[in-house]
Amino acid sequence: MRQSELRNLNVLATNIRIDTLKMLKRRGYGHLGGAFSIVELLAVLYGKQMKYDPKYPNWEERDRVVLSKGHAGPGLYSALANVGFFEKDLLNTLNEGGTNLPSHPDRIKTPGIDATTGSLGQGTSIAAGIATGFKLSQKDNYVYLIVGDGELNEGQCWEAFQYIAHFKLNNCIVIIDENKKQLDGTTEEILNPFDIQKKMEAFGFQTVKVKGNDIKAIDEAIDYCKSFNDCAVSIVLDSIKGQGVKFFEEMVANHSVKFNNDEINNETEQAIVNLKNLIKDGE
């Protein structure tokens, strides 16, 4: 990856993070932790790897994203706004009555959303179906399936993974965001996922593990996945819940954050200033 390209992706990631933070703070609450842990991934997808046209969100030849961990919707909305699917003003309406930006993605309401998700596990099968449709139609598109590590508690994920592996859907790039926390605690405490990479390999996936905040490594991992054409592929993102802002990374219960006290609000304001400075400093 060229330096200029890396810099642009870093800027995009930081903007996604800033806008997500602003959006949640404005609403007063929201799923911050899991949105932040996929910010770099979203920057690589929308900044480099994906085929799409924000002017034509329903363009038939586009690649698709299925955010099966639908609670990270605000992160995805921020990415979509930053690449031009809609005006940033819309971000201010998150979770308002009648909004087109519900907490969990809705393909009917929001331009750029390819699948309605939120009930965990279900996006995995939808992505598998999209990948099947692409194959049957002899389209060379990819579907990027983003799954949470807590979400792996759901049995449907494993039904879908068996299917994806059996049918060798190399066009369904399964990305597991291993941020190591779910709502009630760490994944290890709640329902130990053990070694996710080994599990995926045992399920028949070519699997690579990369740091969730390493844009270059994520990009290379996707290229690596695309080098296979006869087997299922997956990426395990070794990420941090709340990734990219130290204060939120260190917050214990950061699945959903309430912006209801001075400390959080001051830290948030400072984080936005710091993130903006990152961009000013050329990342």
Nearer to another protein, 21 or 165 (CB): 165
Residues 159-188 that bind another protein (CB under 8 A): 159-160, 162-163, 166
Site string for another protein, 120-149 (x = CB under 8 A): -xxxxxxxxxxxxxx-xx-x----------
Q: How far, rounded to the nearest angstrom, does the alpha carbon of residue 21 sit from its chain's CA centroid?
A: 15
Supply the DSSP symbol for 106. -
Q: Least CB distance from residue 128 to another protein, whole Å?
A: 5
* Residue 138 structure tokens: 């002899």
Nearer to another protein, 128 or 236 (CB): 128
The residue type at 234: S
Distances (CA, A) of 108 to 51, 81, 111, 226, 275: 20, 17, 8, 29, 32
Site string for another protein, 89-118 (x = CB under 8 A): -----------------xxx-----xxx-x
Selection from 64, 69, 70 nearest residue 52 by Cα: 64
CB of 170 within 8 A of CB of 230? yes
Q: Least CB distance from residue 162 to another protein, whole Å?
A: 7
Can you tell me which of 28, 119, 227, 246 binds another protein, judged by CB under 8 A? 119
Euclidean distance between CA atoms 67 and 273, whole angstroms: 29
Q: Which residues of this protein are in contact with another protein, per CB under 8 A?
A: 64, 106-108, 114-116, 118-119, 121-134, 136-137, 139, 155-156, 159-160, 162-163, 166
